[in-house]
A and B are shown apart, each in its own frame.
Chain A
Amino acid sequence: SQQGEEDPQALSIQEGENATMNCSYKTSINNLQWYRQNSGRGLVHLILIRSNEREKHSGRLRVTLDTSKKSSSLLITASRAADTASYFCATDPFSNDYKLSFGAGTTVTVRA
């Protein structure tokens, strides 16, 4: 299966701290994407990292990709209460498939 698997399943941090979550996947990919989902809401695209990229930044988000280990990490710096959400990695497989495979997600709670 292509599905990404996030680790940890849940994370609770104090406002201002950094949050790091990891994603592992199984086969070759075109790209890996991170999404956020607030409770009961839709998925919001955060960042896309291509298979030939190693690191990408967007605001307070930093994503790394290690294709040799088939893993990625998402770092949220200086977390805020509004960052409380579930975070999912999704892999776009290196094939003619036209789909994303999502992991189970990491639930992040930022305490004020």
Chain B
Amino acid sequence: EPEVTQTPSHQVTQMGQEVILRCVPISNHLYFYWYRQILGQKVEFLVSFYNNEISEKSEIFDDQFSVERPDGSNFTLKIRSTKLEDSAMYFCASSEDGVNYGYTFGSGTRLTVV
């Protein structure tokens, strides 16, 4: 069964450093998403991406965050200057049409900011 692949599975970074989280969505999917889950809390929407541009972003997705689809397969989330409160599990997801099919989530990247 097709999978969404995320790398790395775990990243530890110093506060203030830049991190790039990588995702390979399912090849025929058109909608891509980043969500995050702080330990013990709800899964929160960060950003959706369609047709090579951001469709929607949440209040969490401030100027420190950016997304790219640099080569037609990878989908990346960059955090420019990490803060302690960015520590969370980050999930990438993709969907065939965003409406009629469920999302396929990756296994997540656990980001720890120290």
Contact = CB atoms under 8 A, between A and B. Distances in A.
The answer to whether A and B assemble together is yes
Q: Which of A35, A43, A92 has the most CB of B within 10 A?
A: A43
Contacts, number: 62
A98 B31 contact: yes
Interface size classification for chain A: 20 to 34
A27 to B, nearest CB: 15
Interface string B42-72: 1111001010000110100000000000000
Interface of B: 31, 33, 35, 41-45, 48, 50, 55-56, 58, 89, 91, 93, 98-108, 110
A45 to B, nearest CB: 4
**Chain A, interface SS category:** strand
Given A48-B101, A48-B102, A100-B103, A42 B56 contact: no
A3 B44 CA distance: 10
